[in-house]
Chains A and B, each alone.
Chain A
Amino acid sequence: MADKTPFDEMYNADGSVREPYRALAEWLAEQPDKALTLMQSDAEAIFRRLGITFAVYGSEEGTEKVIPFDVIPRIISAAEWRRLSKGIDQRVRALNAFLHDIYHRQEILKAGRIPEKLILQNAAFAPEMMGLDPAKGVYAHIIGVDIVRVGPDDFYVLEDNLRTPSGVSYMLEDREAMMMLAPDLFQRTKVAPVENYPENLRRTLESVAPEGSGSSPNIVVLTPGIYNSAYFEHSFLADQMGATLCEGPDLFVDGGKVYMRTTTGPERVHVIYRRIDDDYLDPLTFRPDSMLGVPGLFNAYRAGNVTLVNAPGTGIADDKAVYTYVPEIIEFYLGEKALLQNVPTYNCTDDEQRNWVLENIADLVVKEVHGSGGYGMMVGPTATKAQHQEFRRKIEARPDNYIVQPTLALSTCPTFVNAGIAPRHVDLRPYVLVGDEVRITPGGLTRVALKKGSLVVNSSQGGGTKDTWVLED
């Protein structure tokens, strides 16, 4: 797969423009010299002034960077999107059913469809959740599904992010910026709106409030604080949906109920959209050294007095080792064939597969099972010989700690870089909300690897974003 010329989403091999991109191509052709350069610097100024920044871990403390925004949108046709969203809908329903089962009767393990050890001895499995019934039976309410494309009709799910996926604020702000920068482009085509995401988020959160919360439950966003890399997003979402942005010390538990400290005293909290990891949620239940969480929170949750979004323990369903079983999971709970394909994944604990992997490592992608953000991963074709050797050793030492996949020729989109407009690899993260119903925002966040030939799209590794358009019929 690695040697093929990657599929370009705008241009066919013969240089003609693919249908969804026709209006964009015309518009680009009309732009005077330097117009894109100007747009690019305007965009950067807009983002910086709005404070849409992220902190890069490991770099100088307090440095905030603006994620590069590419002014050329990525476009998905209505038909393509219908297919994708059906597949996504199927996937998130199955994964929620899986979570409910794993934390109750564990039928899928009893049926031998997934090895018991893989679940019960997995660090992402949360025994505290056993037998607990979250409101409406929903575990993963807010999901970001990472999808890559390798051909006109070939989409693969790279991973399901079921813990606290980030980036949705970029989806919204990219659209906002794009409309400011190129309003005339929007007049020429019909783009599905993304602006109702905050409203849908609010509805989703309200729909999973504990019984008896009344018609307007008190919703808060729980953030680790202003030094967290995604703080901008936390405050943005709280603001957009009219929720209070809290830090751990703003909340406390009394008599099994959660309250926030207001200017007039304690006020009951019903739903917590938490953007801190499971481990830090409650020092009494999880990590005792956590300063970020709220002591007693888990007991209040267990008593059904507050809803945590997402539920603790959802990580068991997006674990990289469990990922390979998702088609199985879909069949088991829904009795349907998976509509979206998984990337073929090699299991290094199997001797035969591991030997094959070690031999062919230069063509493969190796990922740490618990790594994220593009850290702890190696892309064979662009890595050095020394890196190949390093990862061979790592795999041999701990075969269960890595998954290995073929290097996918991610599709490319025209991107405005120093040298002008050039194809760069992209992926796609659509955002899904699960509450009383499944709500999928058309499009999502397109991440683009700005370095020529690079397949790593993570913002911490030099990736940028694009506004993502889903065309309406």
Chain B
Amino acid sequence: MSMLGRTAQNLFWLSRYVERAENMARLLEVGYRMSLTSRREGAVSEHLVSMMQAAEVDEAFASKGKPADVDNVAHFMMFDPTNPSSVYSCLLAARTNARSVRTAITIDMWQSINGAWLEFSQIKPRDVRGAKLLGLLEWVKHLSHQFRGALLGTILRDAGFAFLQAGNFIERADNTARILDMKYYVLLPRVTLVGGDLDIQQWTLILRAASAHRAYRHVYHDRFKAQNIADFLILRPEMPRSLAFCAQHVKQNVEALAQFYGREEASCEAVRQLCAMVENTSMETVFSHGLHEFLTEFMARNYHVSNSLAESYNFY
């Protein structure tokens, strides 16, 4: 049965929003942990603000005119319906997309997203503080895992699957690139061999935000080092949140679509351009072109893949 362009679009955004909800929870968790361990005056709100910068919601928050303390930021990132990237907004958007494509997703996928929304919408924001906040963040991640599990375990491997997966990995690539860009300066090669306490704290933040602080040890058997961290999150093909991994998976799915429809589309070229940035290269090359410039270019190309998919497959 042929698929409506709108259906393809809804599938693509459904998994983008679930992934985004997870990433928002991860970022907030990092911000919250940092705020617990900060000793310096003003450091708490600095961490929280840079975390919001990574999520590109700092300006929206600032416009509220509220101090950037843990409670205000947590509420803004979790529950604020005027924040289009809040967990609330992401889950609502995911569910709305899922509802529009009820017939194109499996009952398990629907139940997972619908059940999550029903549960989440029962929560009273003012009850969520401290340990409860961490518990809820855990729950959001869990929901994303559950949705992904339902998806991988039940859906037909046809075009719909490729749209879902492409959306998932484009969103994740964007998120990892943002986290890196937020703190790119602490990852730049330095003359000094050992980072100070402050840097270590920042590096931990970056790794945690990508759920990568434990995996790092498995791969590098080493102390936290700027060069390794950048390598891990950018070029490592085995790291499931690295730019290389995400780009590879975006490519797989974009090519699967071309194959499924028997037609090479503009999106294929766009995804090759994306992959070219993280394949057959080294961190030395990346650094020599400038890390920030590299990340900016990567995000632009990733964005272009998303747009070209919309164009190639008649999203509207």
Residues in chain A within 8 A of chain B (CB atoms): 48-51, 225-226, 231-232, 235-236, 238-239, 242, 244-247, 249-250, 260-265, 267
Inter-subunit contact A264/B6 (CB<8 Å): no
Are the CB atoms of A263 and B261 closer together than 8 Å? yes
The docked-state distance in angstroms from the alpha carbon of A419 to that of B40 is: 63
Cβ-closest chain A residue relative to B111: A49
Q: Which of B3, B4, B5, B316 has the most CB of A within 10 A?
A: B4
Chain B residue at minimal CB-CB distance from A238: B103
Whether B102 lies near A264 (C-beta < 8 A) is no
Query: What residues of B have a CB within 8 angstroms of the CB of A265 in the complex?
Result: 314
Chain A CB within 8 A of B53 CB: no
Distance in Å from the Cβ of A63 to the closest Cβ of chain B? 11
Chain A residues near B67 (CB, 8 Å)?
none
**Chain B residues with CB below 8 A from A235, complex form:** 99, 102-103
A263 touches B1 (CB 8 A): no
Please give the number of chain B residues whose Cβ is less than 8 angstroms from any Cβ of chain A in the complex. 24
Which chain B residues border A225 with CB–CB below 8 Å?
100
B159 touches A263 (CB 8 A): yes
> Which of A48, A51, A263 contacts B99 (CB under 8 A)?
A51
Nearest CB of chain A from residue B112's CB, rounded to whole Å: 10
> From residue 128 to 177 of chain B, which have CB atoms closer than 8 A to chain A?
159
A247 and B261 contacting across the interface, CB-CB below 8 Å? no
Q: Is the CB of B261 within 8 A of A245?
A: no
**A-side contacts of B110, CB under 8 Å:** 50-51
Residues of A within 8 Å of B103, CB to CB, are: 235, 238-239, 244-245
Q: Given A48-B118, A51-B114, A235-B102, A249 and B316 touching (CB < 8 A)?
A: yes
Closest CB in chain A relative to B231 CB, distance in Å: 38
Q: Is the interface of A mostly helix, strand, loop or mixed?
A: mixed
Q: A239-B103, A249-B316, A262-B314 are contacts. A49–B114 as well, Cβ < 8 Å?
A: yes
Q: Which residues of A contact B192 (CB under 8 A)?
A: none
Which 4 residue pairs are nearest across A and B when measured between Cβ atoms?
Answer: A235-B102, A262-B2, A239-B103, A263-B313
A260 to B1, CA, bound (A): 12
Complex: how many Å from CA A48 to CA B111?
A: 9
Q: Is the pair B316, A264 in contact by a Cβ cutoff of 8 Å?
A: no
Chain B proximity of A296: nearest CB distance (Å): 18
| The one of A50, A231, A236 that contacts B111, using a Cβ cutoff of 8 Å | A50
The closest CB in chain B to the CB of A45 belongs to B115
Given pairs A51-B110, A238-B103, 8 additional interface contacts (CB within 8 A):
A244-B2, A244-B4, A245-B102, A250-B5, A250-B6, A260-B2, A261-B5, A263-B3
Most chain A CB within a 10 A radius of its CB, from B3, B111, B263, B316:
B3
B304 to chain A, nearest CB (A): 19
Contact in complex: B5, A263 (CB < 8 Å): yes
If A226-B100, A231-B99, A262-B314 touch, whether A50 touches B2 (CB-CB below 8 Å) is: no
B83 at the interface (CB under 8 A from A): no
Task: Determine the distance from Cα of A231 to Cα of B2 in the docked complex, in whole angstroms.
Answer: 21
**CB closest chain-B residue, reference A264:** B261
Q: Let me know if B4 and A264 touch, CB within 8 A.
A: no
**B interface SS class:** helix
Q: Please determine whether A51 and B102 come into contact, CB atoms closer than 8 angstroms.
A: yes
Residues of A with C-beta under 8 A to B118: 48-49
Would you list 20 pairs from A and B whose C-beta atoms are within 8 A, ordered by A residue? A49-B115, A51-B99, A51-B114, A226-B99, A235-B103, A238-B103, A244-B1, A247-B6, A249-B316, A250-B4, A261-B6, A262-B5, A263-B3, A263-B4, A263-B5, A263-B261, A263-B313, A264-B2, A264-B261, A264-B313
Q: Does B268 contact A (CB under 8 A)?
A: no
B87 at the interface (CB under 8 A from A): no
Q: Looking at the assembled complex, report how far the CB atom of A41 sits from the nearest CB atom of chain B, in whole angstroms.
A: 15
Q: CB distance A263 to B8 under 8 Å?
A: yes
B99 nearest in chain A by CB position = A226
Alpha-carbon distance between A245 and B98 when the two chains are bound, in angstroms: 13
Proximity string of chain B (73-110) to chain A, C-beta cutoff 8 Å, 1 when within and 0 when not: 00000000000000000000000100110110001001
Q: Which residues between 276 and 314 of chain B lie within 8 Å of chain A, taking CB atoms?
A: 313-314
One of A49, A226, A236, A263 near B96 (C-beta < 8 A): A226
Residue of A whose beta carbon sits closest to that of B92: A62
Whole-angstrom distance between the alpha carbons of A261 and B316 in the complex?
9
The answer to whether residues A263 and B111 also contact, given A226-B96, A231-B99, A247-B6 and a CB cut-off of 8 A, is no
Min C-beta distance of B134 to chain A, whole Å: 27
Chain A min CB distance to B160 (Å): 10
Residues of A within 8 A of B3 (CB): 262-263
A238 to B115, CA, bound (A): 22
| Interface contact A267-B2, CB-CB below 8 Å | yes
Task: Report the separation of the CA atoms of residues A247 and B96 in the bound assembly, to the nearest whole angstrom.
Answer: 15
Contact status B111-A242, CB under 8 Å: no
**What separation, in Å, do the CA atoms of A232 and B5 have in the docked complex?**
21
Q: Which B residues from 1 to 42 make CB contacts under 8 A with A?
A: 1-6, 8
Tell me the complex Cα distance, A244–B8, Å. 13
Alpha-carbon gap, A332 to B283, bound state (A): 88
B3 to chain A, nearest CB (A): 5
Complex CA distance for A226 and B99, rounded to whole angstroms:
7
- Please, which residues of chain B bring their CB within 8 A of the CB of A236? 102
Query: Which B230-283 residues have C-beta < 8 A from chain A?
Result: 261, 263
Instruction: Give the shortest distance, in Å, between A315 (CB) and chain B (any CB).
Output: 28
Which chain B positions have C-beta within 8 A of A267?
2
Are B4 and A246 within 8 A (Cβ)? Answer: yes
